[in-house]
Chain A
Amino acid sequence: DAKTTQPPSMDCAEGRAANLPCNHSTISGNEYVYWYRQIHSQGPQYIIHGLKNNETNEMASLIITEDRKSSTLILPHATLRDTAVYYCIVRGTTSGTYKYIFGTGTRLKVLA
């Protein structure tokens, strides 16, 4: 199963873009990269996912490098409510089971 590596913590000024990096150097060619966030021990919230191309939705943008060994989640205009733990996940498949392998994530603190 592919693993991910993220910095343990980051700070970002309110209104600025937050760029959260993730390394997944052992990713397989058909494995998706997923991003979730977890606010204060609530259930993880889905943000975005991608395979090869860059993706954008109403919450964020996902930039995946051409070799797919790393990606960056971009929150374009961070607000205080974006303070959370952000998880980058490469979904592993074992005998047909699509399971998520979580790391310890990046604790993002948005500063006023």
Chain B
Amino acid sequence: ETGVTQSPTHLIKTRGQQVTLRCSSQSGHNTVSWYQQALGQGPQFIFQYYREEENGRGNFPPRFSGLQFPNYSSELNVNALELDDSALYLCASSLRAGGRKETQYFGPGTRLLVL
């Protein structure tokens, strides 16, 4: 167990709807990264939050957005859901303390199905 929790575990939405996924960081961590994993593929980086600000983004459209709260927990919001958004969404937390070594610890993921 990494101490990173995600909710909900599973979710079913219809095309065009909006969804919010939640992540609680491991104790002592200050950075949260989100990844999307389609079936049979490796996780793809969506974005990262550090000090409550977006700190880097992968190749995802603006309808993917996020928040980080003062307690370092985080939300991933996806608007105007498309069928291709069906995937496992993974949250990873890490401690950024200077230097280049920063190990990410992943939560169990939220499986989203868009119909």
Contact = CB atoms under 8 A, between A and B. Distances in A.
Contact of B55 (A34, A43, A97): A97
B105 A46 contact: yes
A75 B44 CA distance: 26
Interface in B68-87: none
Interface in B83-115: 88, 90, 92, 94, 96, 100-109, 111
The main secondary structure of chain A at its interface with chain B is loop
Given A96-B56, A97-B55, A43 B106 contact: yes
A44 B90 contact: yes
B56 A43 contact: no
A45 B104 CA distance: 9
A84 B7 CA distance: 24
B95 to A, nearest CB: 11
Nearest to B57: A97
B62 to A, nearest CB: 17
Contact of A103 (B42, B48, B106, B111): B42
A17 interface: no
Interface in A66-112: 87, 91, 93-105
A1 B48 CA distance: 16
A102 B96 CA distance: 20
A13 to B, nearest CB: 26
Given A43-B108, A44-B90, A102 B100 contact: no
A93 B100 CA distance: 9
A45 B106 contact: yes
B102 A98 contact: yes
Nearest to B43: A102
B61 to A, nearest CB: 17
Given A34-B103, A41-B109, A43-B90, 12 more contacts: A42-B109, A43-B4, A45-B106, A46-B103, A46-B104, A49-B103, A93-B100, A98-B96, A99-B45, A99-B48, A103-B42, A105-B42
